[in-house]
A and B are shown apart, each in its own frame.
Chain A
Amino acid sequence: MMEHRPCPSPADVERAYWSAGAGAPVAERDRGILAHVEECDRCTAAWRDIARLAELGRRIEPARPWERREELRTTLLSSLDQARTDRAAVRSPIVGRRWWWAAPLAAAAAAAAAAMWLAWPAPPAPGASHALGAPPAADSSHAPPPSVARRAMVLEHPGARALAVSDQPDEVVRLVEGSLTISVPALAATEQFRVITSDGELVASGAAFDVTAREDRLAAVRVLQGQVKILAAGATTTVQRGETWRSSTQLTVLAPPRAATAPAAPAPAGSTTAPPPGTGSAHASTLPTRELPFDLPPAPTPPPASPPTSPTPTGAAAPPPAPVEPADSAAALPPPPPRSMAQQALDDGWTALRAGDFARAAAAFERAVAVTGDPHLVEDATFWRGIALARAGEVGTAAHVLTAFLTAYPRSPRGGEARVVLGWLLFERGDRADAKVQFEAALQDTAPRVRGGARAGLAAIANAR
């Protein structure tokens, strides 16, 4: 063949070869090279050399099949959990030889933090100001030491839909559909393992069991070892080894909760005892929405005749107002949509927060995060979970949650508040540099109260030096 034009550079031939094989339209410059290659023996030989190498090369595979694939996966995920725990441990404020002056520093920090939490950011109590008591200073300094994470082993059965939501000290698996076999090691008092469905949850430690959900409802639990506590359908049941628990509501899982079946016992959060028609909106109407420093998720329009029959917080030991719903009023008014599990969980969280039950509040907000599909609601619930954990003295977890909140929602209107609280948490842990960063960022907030809190934090850091 004759060469009608000068040969392209070898690099151009490479580019043209891979460009032609990529499936995308060939560039104009490469089209010219392709035309040249067809006419040029030397370039054709180079082209064939590339093709041969590519063909041979694709057959290079690892020498042996991968036997340790799953083992490596487990090791990888476990090591990440361990690393996270180790990082938390390293950041402990009382370290090494500086312990003698770290103790008074921690006490001062605890006092400062308690003072801040006293006024920060308190969801107003219905009908009473400052019903949300601040924890005593000692509470906030009693953060449990970081524990070594011991994760449950979870085996997903075919078709199961589940997701690990969080790790220890409160490891949560959100189960939507199907079956899991779970082995939970014996946990410390500060740790727990839970499986959550939309209508209930189970708590286990030192146990092995099968758990099944249908249509996002807890359907069955078979305990193989140890015991499992189930909170569902308004009751707490402990299932022992060899026993199987089945939900009696399975046949009616798709039916809306009926008022008449609501039990008189306290309804644990996440149970199937969702408020009867009318209760959700009535409950919402009892919330002082104007005073709350957050926006309630859009509540169903309350029926005009639906009285706030029960100012009792959800989960209190009072009988639910459902039975008082007369048949004629139900006929006269269209029933409002039932309150969602997420909204219910939020309500539970705020109620518990007002009552000073911070651990329960944190659990309720976490549940709201796990079950909702509304990003705004997730944002609210995450923020309040961080606050509740902080007030519960769970310094490490609270800092983790608030950090995650700020990462996920950098433009949140609650960012300033979160930064100030996080700043105090970090300060308490002795991480003054990071605390300073948070306080300084909070100085940019538009709310004077937030800026004041940030200034107080910076002053505390300066005084501690």
Chain B
Amino acid sequence: MRRGVVPLHRVQGTPMEMSDEALVAACVVGETAALGALYDRHADGVRRFLARLSGTDDRDLDDLVQATFETVVRAARGFDGRSSVRTWLLGIANNTARHHVRGELRRKRLAMTVTAEAAASPPAGDPSGDVIDREQVGRLHDAVLALPPKLREAFVLVYLEGLSGAEAARALAAREGAIWKRLHEARAKLRALLEGARP
């Protein structure tokens, strides 16, 4: 893209033709169509991130996605373009999840339940490698959910969402060096959790 957006000038290009940055700028002046376009582009990614980060059920996940995009409208004025819109959105989603007490409690309950289940019923020599993979992925997710919040956020953003260290630092309002340290700690804890969950 294309062109920068001129607020209130809504005819040059449909929202789907605008850049992410232009859509955020349009959100500043209350352009709901722009918010709709942002949602269309990023809602799936935000939901996946929130699922990886919080492990909540579908309903809570929907609440978190909605809360994230509602915050986008209020926060759009503060978007300074130093990070990509995706990084910015994931930062908002992260904050939303962090403050979502109900989701957090549910996450802990879920993590405890699933981890206990995984420990109680390990895969018994299933011939299907795919099933084994799924088990591994499931155990890893449970372990991720059991990480302390700061480690979990850094791990999900970098390992699972593929953000660079600098982007993750911007999303989490932290120094880049701290991100690498958190990642190392997260990996160490994950190893311990995964080994602890094994029969």
Q: Assess whether B47 is in contact with A11, with CB atoms less than 8 Å apart.
A: no
Q: Assess whether A60 is in contact with B7, with CB atoms less than 8 Å apart.
A: no
- The 8 A CB mask of A257-295 against B (1 = contact, 0 = none) is 000000000000000000000000000000000000000
CB-CB under 8 A from B160, the residues of chain A are 54, 57-58, 60
Q: Assess whether B32 is in contact with A59, with CB atoms less than 8 Å apart.
A: no
**Residues 37-64 (chain A) with a chain B CB within 8 angstroms:** 49-50, 53-54, 56-64
- The 8 A CB mask of B41-81 against A (1 = contact, 0 = none) is 00110011001100001100110011001100100000000
Complex alpha-carbon distance, A49 and B192, angstroms: 13
- Nearest CB of chain A from residue B48's CB, rounded to whole Å: 6
Q: Assess whether B51 is in contact with A408, with CB atoms less than 8 Å apart.
A: no
- The 8 A CB mask of A66-88 against B (1 = contact, 0 = none) is 11110011011101110010000
Known A-B contacts A10-B184, A72-B62, A76-B39; A49 and B191 likewise in contact (beta carbons under 8 Å):
yes
Known A-B contacts A62-B47, A62-B61, A378-B6; A18 and B70 likewise in contact (beta carbons under 8 Å):
no
Known A-B contacts A80-B35, A81-B32; A161 and B184 likewise in contact (beta carbons under 8 Å):
no
Q: Assess whether A63 is in contact with B58, with CB atoms less than 8 Å apart.
A: yes
Whether B14 sits at the interface, judged by CB under 8 Å, is yes
CB-CB under 8 A from A49, the residues of chain B are 187, 191
Q: Assess whether A60 is in contact with B140, with CB atoms less than 8 Å apart.
A: yes
- The 8 A CB mask of A347-387 against B (1 = contact, 0 = none) is 00000000000000000000001111101001000100000
Interface segment among A163-171, A206-214, A444-452: the answer is A163-171
- The 8 A CB mask of B151-191 against A (1 = contact, 0 = none) is 00001001110101100000000000100110110011011
Q: Assess whether A373 is in contact with B12, with CB atoms less than 8 Å apart.
A: yes
Whether A405 sits at the interface, judged by CB under 8 Å, is yes
- Neighbour of A371 across the interface among B11, B31, B66, CB < 8 A: B11
CB-CB under 8 A from B183, the residues of chain A are 11, 14
Complex alpha-carbon distance, A54 and B190, angstroms: 12
- The 8 A CB mask of B1-38 against A (1 = contact, 0 = none) is 00000111111101100000000000011111101100
CB-CB under 8 A from A77, the residues of chain B are 32, 35-36
Q: Assess whether B165 is in contact with A15, with CB atoms less than 8 Å apart.
A: yes
Complex alpha-carbon distance, A58 and B163, angstroms: 12
Whether B90 sits at the interface, judged by CB under 8 Å, is no
Whether B116 sits at the interface, judged by CB under 8 Å, is no
Counting residue pairs across A and B whose Cβ atoms lie within 8 Å, the total is 139
Q: Assess whether B33 is in contact with A404, with CB atoms less than 8 Å apart.
A: no
- Neighbour of A62 across the interface among B36, B51, B137, CB < 8 A: B51
Whether B141 sits at the interface, judged by CB under 8 Å, is yes
What is the chain A residue whose CB lies nearest that of B44? A66
- By DSSP majority rule, is chain B's interface helix, strand, loop, or mixed? helix
Q: Assess whether B133 is in contact with A59, with CB atoms less than 8 Å apart.
A: yes
- By DSSP majority rule, is chain A's interface helix, strand, loop, or mixed? helix
Q: Assess whether B191 is in contact with A73, with CB atoms less than 8 Å apart.
A: no
Q: Assess whether B51 is in contact with A63, with CB atoms less than 8 Å apart.
A: yes
Whether B136 sits at the interface, judged by CB under 8 Å, is yes
Whether A174 sits at the interface, judged by CB under 8 Å, is yes
Whether B92 sits at the interface, judged by CB under 8 Å, is no
CB-CB under 8 A from B136, the residues of chain A are 56
Q: Assess whether B187 is in contact with A76, with CB atoms less than 8 Å apart.
A: no
Whether B144 sits at the interface, judged by CB under 8 Å, is yes
Whether A329 sits at the interface, judged by CB under 8 Å, is no
- Nearest CB of chain A from residue B72's CB, rounded to whole Å: 10
Q: Assess whether A53 is in contact with B190, with CB atoms less than 8 Å apart.
A: yes
Known A-B contacts A56-B137, A57-B160, A62-B51; A76 and B30 likewise in contact (beta carbons under 8 Å):
no
Looking at A50, A53, A75, which has the most chain B CB atoms within 10 Å of its CB?
A53
- Nearest CB of chain B from residue A338's CB, rounded to whole Å: 19
- Neighbour of A408 across the interface among B8, B11, B137, CB < 8 A: B8
Known A-B contacts A15-B180, A77-B32; A370 and B70 likewise in contact (beta carbons under 8 Å):
no
Q: Assess whether B181 is in contact with A11, with CB atoms less than 8 Å apart.
A: yes
Q: Assess whether B39 is in contact with A163, with CB atoms less than 8 Å apart.
A: no
CB-CB under 8 A from B164, the residues of chain A are 18, 22
CB-CB under 8 A from B47, the residues of chain A are 62, 66
- Nearest CB of chain A from residue B190's CB, rounded to whole Å: 7
- Nearest CB of chain B from residue A163's CB, rounded to whole Å: 5
Complex alpha-carbon distance, A5 and B190, angstroms: 28
- The 8 A CB mask of B129-152 against A (1 = contact, 0 = none) is 000010011001100100000000
Q: Would you list the 7 A-B pairs with minimal beta carbon distance, nearest first?
A: A408-B7, A62-B51, A11-B180, A10-B184, A164-B33, A57-B160, A14-B183
Q: Which residues of A are interface residues toward B (Cβ below 8 A)?
A: 9-15, 18-19, 22, 49-50, 53-54, 56-64, 66-69, 72-73, 75-77, 79-81, 84, 161-165, 167, 174, 176, 369-373, 375, 378, 382, 404-405, 407-408
10 A-B residue pairings within 8 Å (CB atoms)? A10-B188, A14-B184, A15-B180, A60-B52, A63-B51, A69-B44, A73-B39, A167-B32, A371-B11, A382-B8
Q: What would 4 more interface pairs be, CB under 8 Å, given A62-B48, A62-B61, A408-B8?
A: A11-B184, A14-B183, A56-B140, A163-B15
